[in-house]
């Protein structure tokens, strides 16, 4: 059943009273820059709190009255509350995976005796429902010890990136005694998941000094007090890699690696055989890395010394794959912008590296995982994944193909050097994550799908929600003549265009946009809308050069690419400007903000979500300084004019007819602080003319998106879909489309 296309049906929008504008003009490297809403950067300012409350009340009234909001809420709720489970991880002969029986606000961690046991047949080890009454405490990281007897967990509260780490003992098979935590608690941690040392006596983690005004208190199951506002906004200092020995107080933990400068971070890799510790380091969010090795065990007296220098120049990206004796296997872009696999002798790291897998002429080597006498390689071909098995010398053994229709992306590979089983998690635009088991003793046999829930077909869950969807791969021509690929999806049998269309993009930080199931996208297509997903420069789809072509002073190319995709959709008749909505999150929120301010006539609706919208002050808050490797430094006289030219906040002009805009953020977002959205919405409401609404939607006890409970995600998606549908003329069918209940 197809949907009808109606003229936009807009409920009454009443713009809140204008926010106070202050006379604040700064001279930045010779550029006078006004900042009339600087006060909105302080969440404790009573004016900020009043502004947010007023905006929230207006948004709630408007969004609740949107046509078809109830339809979209039912659709996304049905999708979000179906059973689901992650890809199994084997430790100590038992199988660990995250799972949700359906309807729970947060996923739990379970252990089963066999990989083909459905999650409900196993033992629940960690259930975040026990942590908070409102569902906003989330399990955001786990690390199972080598023997499978312990699991380190990470908890986040109210969407904050701050985490508390604890350690739980895993009951033996048949032991029905309650699961118990050890006394260990690690607070003020971020980013790096806990990493076990081989003997399980200690773990490595990344920690920061307690933020000013915190009193040193953390957030955890025994202390559910909220973090202070300064911990959510203040510019963050340098962190360190520390070692925590079980049974000791965190105050006794020792620093192992101190960064050479504040913006450096490190990713540790521990050799399971207990011989080597590898540290891959980079400044900020730079994809390029250095690599150094240290002999284990970790010294008892503090800092690591006498590193074995593997890579000292910050010129290329490197990822540790495995250690075999004194041989390190690296995925490297040195001499291969699309990646290759090499072996490095750690006893002579300056010697020429031995190439195991050469750079492919067109495909990108995404990852490599060791499995028994082999490596599981994931390749990216035109922004979709394929999986190959090669022996330890790099010779082809087999293609590992999952029976999922259409292009897919690999979410997880779980394999062990001594094991015969390989588990691959995949997703696509039309199928949610499913896990598949391959047997290395018989790789020619089709893989077995791992069950998500008991009863029904193996693996039943959210996986096949859009079986009647047509996906078309096409490309647009950007301003400089570059071909920009995009995928266009619509329901089979839908009327020809122009149709209401949602265009999504990201374009930054070497992050690829791949075939991936999204509840928001699925509900839009099921309602009769067209979805277009763009592969913009700045992303990681096509190798290092594609990323470099859209970063730093070349960032405008990303916006040009997105504009070209929008224009392509119009010129090919898929949609028109009155039926087009733009959507992006985080760096994608910057993308939407930049394009809607440069080309306001291009679309009918814009949805910048948790966006980086003030390009002159992003580095002043929390971890924002880490992004200067991608965007440039506003304090640099050569970078500032480039940033000023496209900064969405500073591109707004009074008297302009901007598209209907829904600006979304969370009050606990300590990655892209909500002041970006507050200031942009206030300035946009000041500048915009015409009837199009400018709505600021603020989630409470929510952050950048990590750990957001199901019920809150459902409301967010319903609001965004109803807003985009209202302003592009999308009218869903009376009954939801295939696989979407409502």
Residues serving a catalytic function are 586, 704
Token digits for 625? 């300084």
CA angle 606/607/612 to nearest 5° reads 110
CA geometry: angle 442, 446, 452, nearest 5 deg: 115
- How far is Cα 670 from Cα 679, in angstroms, rounded to an integer? 16
Query: 555, 538 in Cβ contact below 8 A?
Result: yes
The CA–CA distances, whole Å, from 679 to 15, 38, 605, 666, 682 equal 15, 8, 19, 14, 5
Answer whether 429's CB lies under 8 Å from 469's CB.
Answer: yes
- CA-based nearest residue to 358, from 328, 377, 336, 381: 336
Q: How many other β-carbons are positioned within 10 Å of the β-carbon of residue 392? A: 18
User: Is omega for the bond preceding 259 within 30 degrees of 0, making it cis?
Assistant: no
Report whether 20 contacts 47 (CB < 8 A).
yes
DSSP code per residue over 584-609: EETHHHHHHHHHHHH-GGG-SEEEEE
| Residue 36: strand pairing partners | none
Q: Which of 597, 613, 599, 578 is nearest to 724 (CA)?
A: 578
How far is it, in rounded angstroms, from Cα 405 to Cα 345?
A: 42
Q: How far apart are CA 536 and CA 549, in angstroms?
A: 10
Q: Which residues pair with 164 in a beta bridge?
A: 155
* Residue 321 three-state SS: strand
SS3 285: coil
Three-state secondary structure string covering 146-163: CCCCEEEEEEEECCCCCE
Structure tokens at 563: 């504009």
């Amino acid at each position: 059943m197809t949907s009808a296309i109606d003229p936009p049906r807009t409920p009454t929008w009443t713009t809140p009273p204008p926010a106070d504008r202050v006379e604040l003009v700064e001279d930045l490297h010779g550029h006078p820059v006004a900042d009339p809403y600087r006060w909105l950067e302080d969440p404790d300012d009573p004016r900020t709190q009043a502004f947010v409350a007023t905006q929230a009340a207006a948004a709630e009234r408007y969004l609740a009255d949107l046509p078809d909001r109830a339809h979209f809420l039912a659709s996304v709720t049905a999708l979000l509350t179906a059973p689901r489970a992650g890809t199994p991880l084997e430790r100590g002969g038992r199988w660990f995976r995250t799972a949700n029986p359906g309807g729970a606000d947060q996923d739990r961690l379970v252990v089963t005796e066999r990989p083909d046991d459905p999650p409900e047949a196993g033992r629940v080890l960690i259930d975040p429902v026990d942590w908070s009454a409102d569902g906003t405490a989330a399990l955001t990281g786990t690390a199972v010890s080598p023997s499978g007897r312990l699991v380190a967990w990470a908890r986040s509260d109210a969407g904050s990136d701050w985490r508390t780490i604890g350690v739980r003992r895993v009951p033996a098979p048949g032991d029905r005694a309650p699961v118990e935590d050890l006394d260990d608690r690690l607070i003020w941690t971020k980013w790096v998941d806990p990493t076990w040392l081989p003997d399980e006596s200690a773990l490595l983690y990344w920690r920061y000094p307690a933020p000013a005004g915190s009193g040193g208190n953390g957030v955890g199951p025994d202390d559910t007090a909220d973090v202070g506002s300064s911990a959510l906004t203040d510019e963050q200092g340098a962190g360190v890699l520390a070692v925590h020995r079980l049974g000791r107080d965190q105050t006794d933990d020792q620093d192992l690696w101190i960064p050479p400068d504040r913006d450096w971070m490190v990713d540790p890799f521990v050799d399971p055989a207990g011989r080597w510790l590898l540290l891959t380091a980079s400044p900020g969010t730079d994809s390029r890395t250095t690599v150094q090795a240290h002999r284990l065990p970790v010294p008892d007296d503090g800092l690591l010394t006498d590193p074995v220098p593997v890579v000292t120049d910050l010129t290329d990206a490197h990822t540790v794959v495995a250690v075999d004796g004194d041989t390190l296997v690296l995925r490297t872009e040195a001499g291969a912008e699309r990646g290759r696999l090499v072996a490095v002798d750690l006893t002579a790291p300056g010697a020429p590296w031995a190439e195991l897998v050469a750079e492919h002429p067109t495909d990108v080597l995404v990852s490599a995982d060791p499995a028994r006498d082999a490596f599981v390689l994931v390749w990216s071909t035109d922004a979709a994944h394929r999986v190959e098995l090669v022996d330890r010398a790099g010779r082809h053994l087999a293609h590992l193909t999952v029976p999922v229709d259409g292009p897919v992306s690999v979410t997880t590979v779980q394999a062990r050097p001594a094991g015969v089983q390989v588990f691959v998690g995949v997703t696509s635009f039309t199928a949610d994550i499913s896990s598949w088991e391959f047997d290395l003793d018989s790789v020619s046999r089709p893989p077995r799908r791992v069950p998500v829930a008991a009863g029904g077909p193996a693996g039943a869950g959210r996986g096949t929600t859009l079986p009647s969807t047509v996906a078309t791969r096409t490309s647009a021509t950007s301003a400089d003549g570059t071909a920009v690929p995009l995928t266009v999806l619509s329901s089979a049998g839908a009327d020809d265009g122009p149709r209401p269309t949602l265009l999504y993009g990201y374009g930054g930080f070497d992050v690829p946009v791949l075939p991936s199931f999204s509840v928001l996208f699925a509900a839009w297509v099921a309602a009769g809308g067209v979805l277009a997903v763009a592969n913009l420069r700045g992303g990681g789809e096509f190798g290092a050069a594609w990323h470099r072509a859209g970063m730093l002073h070349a960032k405008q190319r990303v916006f040009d690419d997105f504009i070209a995709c929008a224009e392509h959709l119009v010129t090919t008749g898929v949609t028109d400007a009155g039926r087009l909505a733009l959507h992006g999150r985080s760096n994608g929120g910057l993308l939407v903000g930049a394009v809607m301010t440069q080309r306001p006539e291009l679309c009918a609706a814009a949805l910048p979500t948790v966006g980086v919208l003030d390009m002159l002050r992003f580095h002043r808050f929390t971890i924002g300084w880490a992004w200067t490797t991608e965007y440039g430094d506003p304090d640099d006289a050569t970078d500032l004019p480039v940033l000023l030219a496209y900064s969405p906040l500073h591109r707004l002009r009074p008297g302009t007819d901007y598209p209907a805009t829904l600006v979304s953020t969370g009050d606990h977002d300590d990655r892209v602080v909500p002041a970006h959205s507050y200031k942009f919405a206030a300035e946009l409401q000041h500048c915009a003319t015409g009837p199009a609404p400018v709505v600021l939607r603020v989630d409470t006890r929510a952050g950048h998106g990590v750990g957001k409970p199901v019920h809150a995600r459902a409301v967010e998606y319903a609001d965004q879909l109803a807003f985009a549908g209202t302003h592009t003329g999308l009218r869903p069918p009376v009954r939801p489309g295939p696989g979407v209940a409502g």
